[in-house]
A and B are shown apart, each in its own frame.
Chain A
Amino acid sequence: MAAELPTTLQYTAEHEWIDAGSPVTVGITAVAADALGDIVFVELPAAGSDVAAGAVIGEIESTKSVSELFSPVTGTVVEVNQAVVDDPSLVNTDPYGEGWLLRVDVTSTGPLLTAEEYGAVNP
């Protein structure tokens, strides 16, 4: 399913991705988006709020289920993707692009996986 796992990103076991930017951009993987089904609602932390690696910071809701969003990093949210709040289906259609969720000024990161490692447990 997830043939296109970008090797430029790092991943969490909970299906978030982060890029190498500064601030980092955070999203969820195509594997997670596919498993959830059609995403209809996202709840994200407000810009300016502090997040901690491994903590629940939001929710992703599909027609069928609800999934918690875990922060892959510790830091301060500097931007929220309003386009995704307005049209959550962007997470399904372009999870590594237009469907990004947050930008965070990072002070430290939690445990992260390479694309190869994430892909090995999420074929």
Chain B
Amino acid sequence: MPDRLSPLHDEHVALGAALTPFAGWQMPLRYTSDLAEHTAVRTAAGLFDLSHMGEIEVTGPDAAAFLDRALVGNLTALRVLGARYTMIVDEHGGVVDDLVVYRTGEHVYLVVANASNHEVVLAELRERADRARLDVGLDAAVADRSAATALVAVQGPHALAVVEALPGLTADPDGPADVTPATLKYYACLPLRFDGAPVLVARTGYTGEDGFEFFVDAAGAPALWRALLAAGAGHGLVPAGLSARDSLRLEAGMPLYGNELDRTTTPHDAGLGRVVKLDKVDADGVPVPFVGRDALAARAQSASARVLVGLQGLGRRAARHGYDVVASTQPDAPVVGTVTSGAPSPTLGYPVAMAYVTPEVGAEGQELAVDVRGRREPVRVVPLPFYRRPR
């Protein structure tokens, strides 16, 4: 099957992007240099096309109650125009995907899934909606908005300046009158207009920087993309590809599905047990039996078999996804874990990695090693994230 093309594909080609197949899409890997794009996001701003992400709309009078049964988080408690990081898990508590959910109206939620899991998440939500309707009569509809929706992100310390310089961005007559991009809270969203057409602007992101994400109709995406590039030219904005996105999120210690998260992993394994709300109750005060609840309740009580840690490389060679973590640089040292993501950190100047290790060796400061293609490179357990932006 040929790869899907972003609504911004022609823009990427015009900018000379190196394209790469990614989760069934052709997406920009880089425009110029991974390092230059990474550094621009840390020091100025980067413009990302995230149109491959899946957008699923959940609507109906019982949309909130349904999502409480379908996801691990408490979505009833999410205020209108708020956003939340959450997960969908299977009956065993294994992560099906990690999600950002925006409540765009009292009875309207936008669920953003990873591109690689979009179809799975869509099918699961539909099935869970059917079950919730049959079991307890909840009225919620699940609709796929992905094909019609483009997603563009501006990330970096100059992100707000870029957004404020964007001509054509105006208030939505139905939106809150007292909120602007400048006063928009982190993990909140705001309906605006761009050239008169609706655009949902969210202060969320995946790079560890301040930033804004624009959900826009696919047909209007190229005009928005070009306008953002022009508005950002004086603020150091450059287009940035998937390669920079991955190194930025790794420095920010953010998990990636397929690396830190998968169906064999519970949220607790990934150090994200806090997103699981075991104490959710429905309107009658009855505990909500969300999918995976029993397994995760048991998991929350049991000792952990592995913990997700940050590793600072003490040599120059980077650990990579799938490499063994070993107890020491000695040739006979036993395997104590597996690297889930690793790369040289452009910001910090040394290699960094995330890895699952046995709890006994997971304490901060622990000296370990990684088997880098037959050679044992020393590493040290350090807290996550590796990089935290100055406030």
A-side residues, CB < 8 A to B, are 34, 37-38, 40-41, 43, 59, 61-66, 92
B23 to chain A, nearest CB (A): 16
CB of A41 within 8 A of CB of B243, answer no
A-B contact pairs, 24 of them (CB 8 A): A37-B29, A37-B30, A37-B33, A37-B243, A38-B33, A38-B35, A40-B318, A40-B344, A41-B316, A41-B317, A41-B318, A41-B344, A59-B373, A61-B318, A61-B344, A62-B34, A63-B34, A63-B35, A63-B38, A63-B243, A63-B344, A63-B346, A64-B246, A66-B320
Hey, which chain B residues are within 8 Å of A41, CB to CB? 316-318, 344
CB of A61 within 8 A of CB of B317, answer yes
Kindly identify which residue among B34, B316, B318, B320 contacts A37, using a CB–CB cutoff of 8 Å: B34
Question: Other CB < 8 Å A-B pairs besides A37-B29, A63-B35, A64-B246, 4 of them?
Answer: A38-B34, A41-B317, A62-B34, A63-B243
* Bound CA–CA A90/B62 (angstroms): 60
Check A66/B373 contact, CB under 8 A, given A34-B18, A37-B34, A38-B33.
yes
7 closest A-B pairs by beta carbon, nearest first, are A38-B35, A63-B34, A37-B34, A40-B344, A38-B34, A64-B243, A41-B316
- Confirm or deny: B204 has a beta carbon within 8 angstroms of a beta carbon on chain A: no
* Bound CA–CA A9/B108 (angstroms): 63
Which residue among A62, A64, A66, A92 has the maximum number of chain B CB atoms within 10 Å of its CB? A64
Hey, which chain A residues are within 8 Å of B320, CB to CB? 65-66
> Size band of the B side of the interface?
10 to 19
- Nearest to B243 among chain A residues (CB) is A64
A39 to chain B, nearest CB (A): 10
* Bound CA–CA A64/B343 (angstroms): 7
Contact with A along B1-45 (1 / 0, CB 8 A): 000000000000000001000000000011001110010000000
Hey, which chain A residues are within 8 Å of B155, CB to CB? none
A118 to chain B, nearest CB (A): 19
Q: Of residues 306 to 364 in B, which have CB atoms within 8 Å of A's CB atoms?
A: 316-318, 320, 343-344, 346
B375 to chain A, nearest CB (A): 9
CB of A64 within 8 A of CB of B34, answer yes
Hey, which chain B residues are within 8 Å of A63, CB to CB? 34-35, 38, 243, 247, 343-344, 346
B96 to chain A, nearest CB (A): 27
* Bound CA–CA A63/B248 (angstroms): 11
B-side residues, CB < 8 A to A, are 18, 29-30, 33-35, 38, 243, 246-247, 316-318, 320, 343-344, 346, 373
Hey, which chain B residues are within 8 Å of A66, CB to CB? 320, 373
Hey, which chain B residues are within 8 Å of A40, CB to CB? 318, 344
Hey, which chain A residues are within 8 Å of B38, CB to CB? 63
Hey, which chain B residues are within 8 Å of A59, CB to CB? 373
- Nearest to A35 among chain B residues (CB) is B18
B246 to chain A, nearest CB (A): 8
* Bound CA–CA A92/B33 (angstroms): 10
* Bound CA–CA A113/B298 (angstroms): 62
B295 to chain A, nearest CB (A): 36
Which residue among A37, A59, A62, A92 has the maximum number of chain B CB atoms within 10 Å of its CB? A37
B82 to chain A, nearest CB (A): 35
A87 to chain B, nearest CB (A): 13
- Nearest to B372 among chain A residues (CB) is A66
* Bound CA–CA A38/B346 (angstroms): 10
Hey, which chain B residues are within 8 Å of A92, CB to CB? 33
* Bound CA–CA A18/B225 (angstroms): 43
B27 to chain A, nearest CB (A): 14
* Bound CA–CA A65/B318 (angstroms): 9
A28 to chain B, nearest CB (A): 17
Hey, which chain A residues are within 8 Å of B373, CB to CB? 59, 66
* Bound CA–CA A38/B373 (angstroms): 20
Hey, which chain A residues are within 8 Å of B33, CB to CB? 37-38, 92
Hey, which chain B residues are within 8 Å of A62, CB to CB? 34
* Bound CA–CA A37/B38 (angstroms): 12
Which residue among A40, A66, A92 has the maximum number of chain B CB atoms within 10 Å of its CB? A40
- Nearest to B35 among chain A residues (CB) is A38
* Bound CA–CA A40/B33 (angstroms): 12
